[in-house]
Amino acid sequence: MIESLVVLARIVQYAGTAMLFGAPLFYLYGLPADGPGAARTNAGTKRLVVVAGLLAAIGCGLALLAQTAMMTGALADALDPEALVMVATGTQFGMSVMIRATASLAALAL
């Protein structure tokens, strides 16, 4: 059960990250700079980037919860604040998840 949560969290995180970085690159090379098909005039452009950033950040949160459950051995311990802080600050995985979540949320501010 816990292993499937880890896999689900990774899928959500990778999907969000791929969209977050892939969509703006497509807007740069695949759409015209001006005119009716330009990215700046398309209403869905900003919305897609916001959804992708949120999806990546949610995936990071799920990954942290799943990894905490995996390290403690119990699914209920994934919500224990002490265990979460220990995994987030005491492991390299936790630090990388926190950095990815911060970067995903920072992309929303741009």
pLDDT value of position 40: 75
**91-103 per-position pLDDT tens digit:** 999 999 999 999 9
Mean pLDDT of 41-63: 88
**DSSP letter string, the chain:** -HHHHHHHHHHHHHHHHHHHHHHHHHHHHHS-SSSTT-GGG-THHHHHHHHHHHHHHHHHHHHHHHHHHHHHS-GGGGG-HHHHHHHHHHSHHHHHHHHHHHHHHHHHH-
pLDDT value of position 100: 92
Is a pLDDT exceeding 80 seen at residue 6?
A: yes
**100, two tokens:** 């990815």
